[in-house]
Structure 1
Amino acid sequence: MQNRSAQFALLFPVAAVFIWSLNIAVTRYAADFISPVSISFYRWLVAFVLLTPFLVMPFWRHRALVLQCWKQLALLSAFGMVLYQGLAYSAAHYTTAIHMGLINALTPVFTIAVSVLLLKEWPNRYAAVGCFISLCGLLLVIAQGQQANLLDLGSHAGDLIMLAAVFLYAFYGILLKKWQLQLPLFVSLYVQIIFALLYHLPFVLWLGLDGINMQNASSVIYAGIFASIFAPLLWMMAVQHLGPSRTSIFMNLMPVFTALIAYFWLAETWGIYHTLGTGLTILGVLLAQRSNQLRKNIVNLAEK
């Protein structure tokens, strides 16, 4: 019975990654029908409206803790919900969903880099080799198998914007680990959504909002409900049942899911360089993560 429960728990991270992968395709699709500022603002507005009936009382009960760590929550919201999402929606205007999914898979690699900057945690040689292999895979895809293409930076604007988005998102995970806020996860999420809406207001006042219509309504609803509420919930359930290390490995499915969705839905082309680049990226990420897990196992054995 316990075995079956553990196997069922594997569906949680798979479902979460699939939802996020589909959201990348939705983001690329919606780029032609709604501005980055509009879909980003509407996304968090939808999540806020739906979560408020369930979280307003927990938020009030924990208001003292919220006041103690509001600066940290504001910074987390800036990195995870505004900068990352805003840049991702902007990148969708200039690159493909396949490229966005592949670059997203580099989150663990960028996390290692940010750990060096903020936590002074230097990677071991296996993690360093894994980062290098992943970077080679990414460059292969961006260059489309031709080294000369790397010199044409103008044609890679979307990939560079997405790289910046993922790099900034790595700060979100590291700061979350560093601060370890003593707030229920959903209350923390709720407060960050509130800050995200506040951050958007100057942009909304300056640039205005696109209206919701038949062409973009489904994208806004999907991003606001599934990608902002259901996926994080499934991911947290996965972490609870499987642990953070085992759960994080499932992020490597993102470029695969995104490529399949983009191929069948958006009719994006898939070349041999995509296959080789994705394989190298996933191999590098697995090597980096595996080395960290191996080190933890050795430490645990030594303590016993």
Structure 2
Amino acid sequence: MPLTSSSRLSPATLALLLIPPLMWAGNAVVGRLMQGVVPPVTLNFLRWVLALLMLLPLAGWVLRPGSDLWPHWRRFALLGLLGVGMYNSLQYMALKTSTPLNVTLVASSIPVWMLIMGRVFYAVPISRRAAMGAFMSLCGVVVVIARGDLGGLLSVRLVPGDLLVLLAAVAWAWYSWLLARPPANEPTAIKADWAAFLLAQVVFGLLWSAGFTAGEWLTMPALAPGDSAIQWGWPLVAGLLFVAVGPSLLAYRSWGAAVGRVGPAMAGIFSNLTPLFAALMSATLLREPPQLYHLAGFVMIVGGILVSSRR
């Protein structure tokens, strides 16, 4: 939806639009830094445990026995599975074999999967312009996955991380459609309170994540005597605090406020700054400078989404 007044992009609104992609890029970089410090699925579980503790003082009422949450528990259990239990677990797992820049670039294809899922499951038509934009974005994803070697694309060997982040993108697209098409009887008190709405998802998402974490530990290779799967110390504590506060609470709150001010189309354009921020952070903190194919993929993905979002 086009802007109707210059006040919509005031400094405060611009900050709201920039905070989420900055936090999401930081999430990918911290997830990479935590490799070898804590198992990836366990990292996701600990992240949301801390987020739950921070949300309880803000919206603990939603968990009371008489709350409107419980008659609608199936919906929030599904939202918790996709948005809390799966999406970030898959991203953290992907970072074992892929870079933060690759992960954020491939995740930028989420609008494409939303178009496809909307057409298949919700009978939402795809315009010619949207199809063209989706094709451009998918080409950008292919460039990144192929590491720029389009000539040898048929023989390219995908790293597991590329496939995991594609699965994460599909899960997030489904999650987004569930948010966009809520049931008519969704409780308004929960929906109107961002903290209550997030807490309702997190409480069920943690149950899913606990099950996934148990599976991770049961299938973990045996450790040598004296070794520990979790390296407790200040790096882990700092990383957990960042992913619990920044990508979980601050980004979620800023995203909701930004969408309310400028609409989802404009906010979606800003969200595609995530790979750019990830590239800058990776080069600075991880000594993983971006390659030319990253730039080509970024241009094609963002270009495709810009084409799709124009009237």
TM-score, normalised to structure 1, is 0.88
- Match for 1:55: what amino acid? A
Q: Does 2:239 align with 1:236?
A: no
Choose which of 261, 265, 270 in structure 1 pairs with 2:281: 261
Corresponding residue for residue 110 of structure 1:
113
Residues 134, 280 of structure 1: 8 Å contact kept: yes
Say yes or no: does 1:187 pair with 2:196: yes
State the secondary structure of the residue aligned to 1:179.
Answer: coil
State the partner residue of 1:77: 80
Aligned-residue offset at 1:205 = 3.6
User: 2:52 aligns to what?
Assistant: 48
Q: Does 2:278 align with 1:274?
A: no
Partner of 2:211: 202
Distance change in 2, residues 1:245/1:38 (3 Å)? same
Aligned length: 289
Asked whether the 8 Å contact 2:19–2:254 carries over to 1, the reply is yes
Residues 188 and 4 of structure 1, relative CA distance in 2, 3 Å threshold: closer
- Give distance in 1, aligned partners of 2:152 and 2:84: 32
Task: State how far apart, in whole Å, the 2-side matches of 1:153 and 1:71 are.
Answer: 41
Match of 1:216 in 2: 236
CA distance in 1, matches of 2:50, 2:90: 20
Give 2:95's match in structure 1, choosing from 88, 92, 96. 92
2 CA distance for matches of 1:153 and 1:34? 30
CA drift at 1:210: 3.0
1:271, distance to aligned residue in structure 2 (A): 1.7
Quote how far apart the aligned CAs of 1:87 are: 0.7
Question: In the alignment, which residue of structure 2 is the partner of 1:301?
Answer: none
Aligned residue identity for 2:89:
G
Q: 2:205 and 2:156 mapped to 1: Cα distance?
A: 31
Change (3 A) 1:5 1:169: closer
Task: Name the structure 1 match of 2:31.
Answer: 27
- Aligned-partner residue type, residue 236 of structure 1: G
> Are 1:171 and 2:174 counterparts?
yes
173-182 or 15-24, which moves further after superposition? Answer: 173-182
Distance 1:13 1:85, change over 3 A: same
SS of the residue 2:272 aligns to: helix
SS in structure 2 of the partner of residue 69 of structure 1: helix
Aligned with residue 15 of structure 1, among 12, 19, 22: 19
Q: Name the structure 2 match of 1:300.
A: none
Change (3 A) 1:283 1:206: closer
The structure 1 residue matched to 2:267, chosen from 220, 244, 247, is 247
CA pair 142-50 structure 1, distance change in 2 beyond 3 A: same
Distance change >3 Å, CA 5–CA 278, structure 1 → 2:
closer
Assess, with a 3 A threshold, how the Cα gap between structure 1 residues 151 and 187 changes in structure 2: closer, same or farther. Answer: same
The answer (yes or no) to whether the contact 1:103–1:138 under 8 Å persists in 2 is yes
Name the SS of the counterpart of 2:93 in structure 1.
helix
Shift of 1:289: 1.7
Unpaired runs of 5+ residues, structure 1, are: 295-304
User: What is aligned with 2:222?
Assistant: none
In the TM superposition, residue 218 of structure 1 has moved relative to its aligned partner by 1.5
Residue in structure 2 matching 1:158, options 147, 157, 161? 161
* In 2, Cα distance between equivalents of 1:67 and 1:289: 37
Work out the percentage of aligned pairs sharing the same amino acid. 27
> Given that residues 101 and 259 in structure 1 are in contact (C-alpha distance below 8 angstroms), is that contact kept between their aligned partners in structure 2?
no
* Uncovered stretches (5+) of structure 2, i.e. residues with no partner: 218-228
- Aligned counterparts of 2:269 and 2:205: Cα–Cα separation in 1: 28
The answer to whether the 8 A contact 2:146-2:156 is kept is: no
Is 2:37–2:231's contact at 8 Å kept on the other side of the alignment? no
Q: Deviations over 1:165-187 (max 9, x none)?
A: 11111000001111253323321
- For residues 42 and 232 of structure 2, the distance between their equivalents in structure 1, rounded to whole angstroms, comes to 9
**How far 1:203 sits from its partner (Å)?**
3.4
Letter matched to residue 86 of structure 2: L
Q: Distance in 2 between matches of 1:190 and 1:40?
A: 16
How has the CA–CA distance of structure 1 residues 5 and 155 changed in structure 2, closer, same or farther, with 3 Å as cutoff? closer
* Aligned-partner Cα distance in 1 for 2:263–2:86: 28
Q: Deviations over 1:234-265 (max 9, x none)?
A: 11111122222222221121111111111111
Closer/same/farther in 2, CA of residues 102 and 205 from structure 1, 3 Å limit:
closer
